[in-house]
């Protein structure tokens, strides 16, 4: 119980220990990285399947095509990184912060994310489909498409975010607060049951809600 209590909440800063600069030439499959500083590196095209990252920092890195399926990331800071695509399928991410990223596709289907904060930056496609997501916070983000298809989500909030398309087909959402997001399109709108929105959002979503329940809306 004590270890769980020491975990940083999404709203808190990530406190890292003294870090050692990365001295390798490439990441390794099933590599084990603790208190390592990856700053200003080009890790494009590398593979780090099932690798573990504990209390590490990735700052201003180029990550095009980086493949890290089944990676384990805990208490890490990722800031100002850029990539056309990253593969984090089935990853486990805990108590970490992704800040000011510029990403094309972040593919994290079937992932287990807990106590994760995404702050600032832009993502074209954030694929968290079929995931197990708990205690996620999005702050000041621009996301073209957020895919939560089939995910189990408990506690997720948005502050000052813009989401062009939110996909929640077959998702199970509990304690999800969308009131701080601009939502332009929702797919699977019936799965929003139990989420929190504000009145303006309700007005914007009214045509989709009407279509979902089969209402015919006639102009006056």
* pLDDT tens-place string over residues 52-104: 999 999 999 999 999 999 999 999 999 999 999 999 999 999 999 999 999 99
Instruction: Kindly report, residue by residue over 22-63, the tens digit of the pLDDT.
Output: 999 899 999 999 999 999 999 999 999 999 999 999 999 999
Residue ranges covered by each domain of the chain: 2-9+20-213
Q: What is the pLDDT of residue 217?
A: 77
Closest CA to 51 of 36, 40, 41, 62: 36
Reduce the DSSP state of residue 58 to 3 states and report it. strand
* Class (C level, CATH) for 2-9+20-213: mainly beta
Q: How far apart are CA 108 and CA 216, in angstroms?
A: 38
Residue pair 212/191 in contact by the 8 Å Cβ criterion: no
What's the pTM value of the predicted model, to 2 decimals? 0.89
The beta-carbon contacts of 160-167 under 8 Å, at least 24 apart in sequence, are 167/129
């Amino acid at each position: 119980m004590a270890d769980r209590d020491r975990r940083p909440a999404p709203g808190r800063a990530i406190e890292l220990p003294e870090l050692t600069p990365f001295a390798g030439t490439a990441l390794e499959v099933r590599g084990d990285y603790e208190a390592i500083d990856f700053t200003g590196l080009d890790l494009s095209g590398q593979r780090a399947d099932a690798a573990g990252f504990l209390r590490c920092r990735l700052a201003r890195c180029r990550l095009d095509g980086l493949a890290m399926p089944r990676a384990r990331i805990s208490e890490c800071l990722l800031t100002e990184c850029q990539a056309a695509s990253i593969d984090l399928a089935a990853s486990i991410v805990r108590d970490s912060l992704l800040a000011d990223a510029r990403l094309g596709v972040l593919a994290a289907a079937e992932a287990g994310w807990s106590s994760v904060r995404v702050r600032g930056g832009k993502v074209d496609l954030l694929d968290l489909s079929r995931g197990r997501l708990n205690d996620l916070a999005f702050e000041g983000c621009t996301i073209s498409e957020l895919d939560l298809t089939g995910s189990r989500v408990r506690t997720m909030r948005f502050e000052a975010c813009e989401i062009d398309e939110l996909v929640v087909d077959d998702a199970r959402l509990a304690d999800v607060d969308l009131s701080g997001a601009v939502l332009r399109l929702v797919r699977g709108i019936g799965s929003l049951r139990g989420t929190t929105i504000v009145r303006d959002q309700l007005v914007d979503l009214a045509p989709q809600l009407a279509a979902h329940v089969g209402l015919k809306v006639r102009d006056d």
